Amino acid sequence: MAGEMSKILIIGGTGYLGKFIVGASARSGHPTFALRFLPSEFGLDVDRIHAAEPASSVFALKAHIRRAIEAEGIPYTIVCCNCFAGYFLPTLAQPEPPKEKVTILGDGNPIGFRMIIGSI
């Protein structure tokens, strides 16, 4: 079995990072497979999170769906993927950074520095 390549399954193989992992695995000669799925948890396990509204209603619905799947005896795997922070950094978690106005509270000193970004 020496030299035999491992079969690799990459969950989220078409995602932000997964596409690069798939490429690297395939270039290394591994038989590589990608599982297409729609992530919705982003690091939050709805069975273990205590959130305020409106998030708690969304999480309660997801937990209800999980219980229904369990009650029917359907085999399942839940993957609580992490949210990759680099995805949001280019725009500071905004669809488009403000261009007209930036308000800095305080003197701009990095110790205790706070910044509110907004547009006119």
Q: CA angle, 112 as apex, 103 and 55 as ends, to 5°?
A: 75
> Has 62 been annotated as catalytic?
yes
Token pair listed for 52 = 């305020």
Task: Say which of 7, 19, 62, 101 is annotated catalytic.
Answer: 62
The first and second tokens of residue 45, run together, are 């396990």
Kindly give, in sequence order, each residue whose CB lies less than 8 Å from that of residue 109, ignoring residues fewer than 6 positions away: none
Residue 105 DSSP one-character state:
E
- Residue of 76, 77, 16, 26 whose CA lies nearest to 8: 26
Q: Which helix (H) or strand (E) holds 32?
A: strand 32-35
Catalytic site residues? 62
